């Protein structure tokens, strides 16, 4: 079995705009609470970007008022800094969330609160 560089996997969103990177065991994430420790156990720092705060108002309004779970017209903003890859666009209690990930560089990266966007 060939090892695939996660940064080389193309993002292919479904008809509702959702996507889960196939290189990661998403089912192991907790359904509630802080997912950062789990993502760190995979060797990644994470940043969560929510549609509600990130998308232009017309896209956010359409998503939350239409009753249709389609966020395909939202392009999540990449966090500041190098090395980020899109891990997922998925639904949450607060609406669609993009999970950006990059390899951990130090133990301090685990604790950095990049929520929703932050720098290095």
Higher pLDDT, 33 or 83: 83
In this predicted structure, what is the pLDDT of residue 4? 59
In contact, 47 and 98? CB cutoff 8 Å: no
Distance (Å, rounded) from C-alpha 22 to C-alpha 87?
Answer: 9
Record the pTM.
0.82
Say what the alpha-carbon torsion angle 59, 91, 45, 35 is, to the nearest 10 degrees: 140
Higher pLDDT, 109 or 87: 87
In contact, 54 and 74? CB cutoff 8 Å: yes
Nearest CA to 60 among 27, 96, 92, 103? 96
Distance (Å, rounded) from C-alpha 54 to C-alpha 74?
Answer: 9
- In tens, the pLDDT along 58-96 reads 999 999 998 888 999 999 999 999 999 999 999 988 899
């Amino acid at each position: 079995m060939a090892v695939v560089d996660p940064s080389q996997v193309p993002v292919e969103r479904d008809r509702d705009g959702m996507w889960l990177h196939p290189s990661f065991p998403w089912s192991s994430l907790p359904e509630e609470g802080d997912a950062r420790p789990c993502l760190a156990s995979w060797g990644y720092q994470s940043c969560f970007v929510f549609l509600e705060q990130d998308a232009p108002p017309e896209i956010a309004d359409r998503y939350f008022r239409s009753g249709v779970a389609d966020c395909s017209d939202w392009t999540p903003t990449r966090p500041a800094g190098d090395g980020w890859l899109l891990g997922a666009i998925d639904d949450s209690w607060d609406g669609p969330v993009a999970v950006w990930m990059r390899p951990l560089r130090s133990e301090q990266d685990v604790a950095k609160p990049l929520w929703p966007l932050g720098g290095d």
